[in-house]
Structure 1
């Protein structure tokens, strides 16, 4: 898992990868670009490619246990995949903070208390064992609807 937070045009995300309760990497880059679209994913790392493929219309032959934030042109999307409908996506309102992943409740609380996205993920690292390593940020130039 991981924690991804968005607030005021900045996306912050950690770099920890776990397998169960074991930390396997604390320096993983979770932001990937494909066809000019940026994906910051959470969930099962082995499913990130399937989630990105589904975004571009490739059906997944198996269950996809991943979700993410997507920067596509001037829009920021929350995406995921379920067994019944396949890919789903929701456009996020850029004037509101948002968080996903295992430490999302901690990140939401931190942002509600005034923290920026970076600080929110740093605070989630203190309480969520699946969030850790480096916190990276990405500034976006998305526009509201």
Structure 2
């Protein structure tokens, strides 16, 4: 899967670049975000679900997906997921992480690490998180 972190104090989002399946690393330089208008969406989940999320973003009608996302919109950050074919988002005003390495990343931020450092720590513990870390400032 992946690890995506939002660090509220520094207003930054970090994401790894590994795509894996089962116990196999497919690639370590994936782009795990897409832009729609002024929105930037960083997503984690099954590979096909992330692609379907991007495909269905404009219509706002979604097939059953198993992915979560962080949405950057107009200098604000939201956590989102798809349920019953609908997109649900809620504003984030605190540190947050999604993906297979989220517990490691949240623990790192609890101990004072920023978004990048939290993903870097998740890389050391989560087999599905890896590759270069990309960062976005809000």
Question: TM-score, structure 2 length as denominator?
Answer: 0.90
Alignment-derived partner of residue 107 in structure 1: 105
Mapped pair 1:40 → 2:42: yes
Asked whether the 8 Å contact 1:54–1:87 carries over to 2, the reply is: no
What 5-or-longer segments of structure 2 have no aligned partner? none
The secondary structure found in structure 2 opposite 1:126 is helix
Asked whether the 8 Å contact 1:15–1:27 carries over to 2, the reply is: yes
User: 1:55 Cα shift?
Assistant: 4.5
- Taking the aligned partners of 2:110 and 2:122, their CA distance within structure 1 comes to 13
1:15-62 C-alpha deviation (Å, 9 max, x unpaired): 0001111110100011211122101111112222332455444312x3
What is the total number of aligned residue pairs between the two structures?
136
Asked whether the 8 Å contact 1:27–1:133 carries over to 2, the reply is: yes
Asked whether the 8 Å contact 1:51–1:67 carries over to 2, the reply is: no
Mapped pair 1:17 → 2:19: yes
- Taking the aligned partners of 1:28 and 1:49, their CA distance within structure 2 comes to 13
Alignment-derived partner of residue 143 in structure 1: none
Runs ≥4 residues deviating over 6 A: none
What 5-or-longer segments of structure 1 have no aligned partner? 141-145
1:108-127 C-alpha deviation (Å, 9 max, x unpaired): 10011111110110000111
